[in-house]
Amino acid sequence: METRPPLPPFTRETAIQKVRLAEDGWNTRDPARVALAYSEDTKWRNRAEFPVGREQARALLERKWKRELDYRLIKELWAFDGARIAVRFAYEWHDDAGNWYRSHGNENWHFNDQGLMIHRHASINDEPINSAERKFHWPLGRRPDDHPGLSDLGL
């Protein structure tokens, strides 16, 4: 059976590691790769969509990154307990008309014993910003280790 370390029960250190691995994965903007972090029967709540299963989650991500261009994400641990992690996040992106947004949100995650996410509940709000208000300026891909996190940026 596939595993996705770190595995629950989480410590503060392993919860932070799990959050960073999720951030790194999502910053690839590769739906097939990201979907592998979720169980085959994963259940999501993402805005007004409620995908069930890895394939529906992958399809949601594919639609998302066709619409949310130049996507850059930062996640931060909020709380953890056993097999659950809560995070807050922000990401910046623009639409095909060049309008920039900063999307803020919270996620509640629940993992199985193999470290695959079985539940993902996301609440997300989009804030229109102008290009000069952007705070996430690293090259597309993984956020550099020396780039400030959400708290450091005042978000």
pLDDT tens sequence across 74-88: 999 999 999 999 999
Question: Rounded to an integer, what distance in angstroms lies between the CA atom of residue 20 and that of residue 65?
Answer: 20
Joined together, the tokens standing for residue 5 give 């370390």
Give a yes or no: residue 82 inside a domain.
yes
Give a yes or no: residue 105 inside a domain.
yes
Give a yes or no: residue 30 inside a domain.
yes
Give me Rg for the CA atoms of the chain.
15
State which residues form the domain around 21. 12-133
For range 9-30, the mean pLDDT: 98
pLDDT at residue 154 in the model: 97
CATH number of the domain residue 77 falls in: 3.10.450.50
What's the total number of domains in the chain? Answer: 1
pTM: 0.97
Give a yes or no: residue 123 inside a domain.
yes
Compute CA 137 distance to the chain's CA centroid, rounded to the nearest angstrom: 18
Give a yes or no: residue 87 inside a domain.
yes
Give a yes or no: residue 152 inside a domain.
no
Q: Which tens digit of pLDDT belongs to each residue from 102-154?
A: 999 999 999 999 999 999 999 999 999 999 999 999 999 999 999 999 999 99
